[in-house]
Structure 1
């Protein structure tokens, strides 16, 4: 299959032929980003831990045959620096992380080590690199101190975190800010930005304690979908939405590195916010069968109930806006899982969804 992005598309023009390094390429968002970059003609290297499951998106795509992949841990500074030195990237997307809130309660040290110390190693490699022109450093919407406000958090709101994951992401933002002020602002022809996105859904995610993969596992087994916090709201969006924001940020940094440096939010508009219970019901509807059950919890850990991003900065200064509604995001996500479940080619489905997104 040789489907490629339209050569006249601005993002393809920005990345075609560029050497792009992606940390965390074996992860859910990283694998989608690498496929998208490859379909735009970029030379892509991924650096990450080995893929965990045979049915992860990276493995199902055969992505190690499409891009260059290096098995490595961002906590291994020597190996990370060697990858930078050999590949000489022009653009970096840093996605490698411990990404799960509930897991962070069980493994707080691993979470802090990976998301803070690992990010320091990445920023040190950036500081020492002479080839880089643009850096997109991915954190999370959970980097904000969550006051359970009904309005969205802006890029200049207070950072913080109740759980180890959220605190690690807030700390990673502070680390980035220090490097930005100490080293990057004065660097000629170079721009760096942090990007913060809400909860993403999409095909190929099998992480534990995430509503969509948990739901699909239940539906495949003929079991009801168990929902922990049915009334909690999240800014649900298809994985391609924030990735389009990350790509747009990098493209803008390549053109005007100082103007587009800093922090950026990428999330859906308020009409796409849904409760966890509503999302589960939508998933059942798209799958065509199943049921939703409220799970009883003993000794439940704290999880945010209300969280939303204000993306006016990206709308007004970058021209970025979400394309797919919550209904479309759920439909595309479940179509991916349903198609793969019935034997269709994951690479073809993923590629068609990327092209459809770019044309919408």
Structure 2
């Protein structure tokens, strides 16, 4: 697949976000022509760090603008779409569910509708989430046995976007595949309310890490470079036999929130008792199997959690050093 991407015209929504930055960087390195949809600036991101502003074609806009999406695909003869743009924060979805639904659901159907009207599209990859599964007693989540049944706004937005994507394949034979990633972590995630950057930040400033709801809740974590490679492998392997399919990108190695905080604290040589904040709108346990991705795509995570945080923590320490002490 060394020359697969050479000359491909790739449209990435949310290109300067956490995952988008890594996928954009990888595709630029593989000589694709990348068209980056940017809604908000993301200062300090990997997109900035890698100088991707000068290596891709920048399109300022909003996935909620259907006319713009159609124009971008038509004028640039786009053949591949990675739809990553989203409102990704659970608490924010509770504070403003309408905006979350507009971005995550309307934004997705706009991309799919624009793609349907294009005669150049060869592949569309839509980012769903393991949150789309909602609550299930039997874990890990598997694509063929676990239905999508989100309850809270963020989960529902991803369940809907996922099902709409499947519908566009079933109804219109649009060449679309869906990704359901577990929690992603690594250098460059600037959403400081997520557990990894938040814990590192609080420990850096000698503040107690925060446990929201319960220290016993289980989550699965995949290093960002592994996730980006998963997206590329999926796009490269897409064919009519897997159009309409969803794939979990996971580690199937669940950790409790307390275990995550303890491992980060140990790596940073900090001993500060966590602070527990009760309440919230998260499912208690969430983790997924990557068996299908392994069998169909040949993908599996390269980094274990300890290896991943060893690559992650120094990036944040350097980032906070640059910001200066509070």
**TM bin (shorter chain):** over 0.9
Q: 1:25 aligns with which of 15, 19, 30?
A: 15
Q: Does 1:330 align with 2:312?
A: no
Which of 147, 171, 174 is the matching residue for 1:158? Answer: 147
Match of 2:267 in 1: 286
Match of 2:133 in 1: 144
Q: What is the RMSD of the two structures over their aligned residues, measured on CA atoms?
A: 1.8
Gaps spanning 5+ residues in structure 2: where? none
Instruction: Could you tell me which runs of 5 or more consecutive residues in structure 1 were left unpaired when the two chains were aligned.
Output: 1-9, 186-190, 344-360
Shift of 1:225: 1.4
Residue matched to 2:285:
306
In 1, Cα distance between equivalents of 2:106 and 2:234 = 24
**CA-to-aligned-CA distance 1:214-267 (integer Å, 9 cap, x gap):** 1232133221212213211111110122221111110011xxx20221233333
Q: State which of 215, 227, 252 in structure 2 corresponds to 1:242.
A: 227
Contact 1:224–1:290 (CA<8 Å) still a contact in 2?
no
3-state SS, counterpart of residue 69 of structure 1: strand
Q: Matched residues in 2 for 1:285 and 1:39: separation?
A: 35
Indicate the residue corresponding to 2:218 in structure 1.
233
Query: What does 1:117-266 correspond to in 2, within 5 Å?
Result: 117-184=106-173, 191-228=175-212, 229-253=214-238, 257-266=239-248
Q: CA deviation at 1:285?
A: 2.2
Count matched residues.
Answer: 321
CA distance in 2, matches of 1:292, 1:330: 20
Give the aligned partner of residue 276 of structure 1.
257
Match of 2:26 among 33, 36, 39: 36
Rounded Cα–Cα distance in structure 1 between residues aligned with 2:268 and 2:57? 35
Q: Which has the higher helix share?
A: 1
Query: Which residue number in structure 2 is paired with residue 116 of structure 1?
Result: 105
Structure 2 counterpart SS, 1:323: coil
Secondary structure of the residue that 2:100 maps to in structure 1? helix
Specify which of 43, 47, 69 is matched with residue 58 of structure 1: 47
8 Å Cα contact 1:144/1:153 also seen in 2: no
Distance 1:296 1:182 in 2: 45
Q: Quick one: distance in 1 between partners of 2:81 and 2:249?
A: 21
TM-score, scaled relative to structure 1: 0.84
SS where residue 309 of structure 1 aligns? Answer: coil
After TM superposition, the score normalised by the length of structure 2 is: 0.92
The whole-number CA distance in structure 2 between the counterparts of 1:148 and 1:277 is 21
Distance in 2 of aligned mates of 1:285 and 1:265: 33
Secondary structure at the aligned position of 1:136 is classed as strand
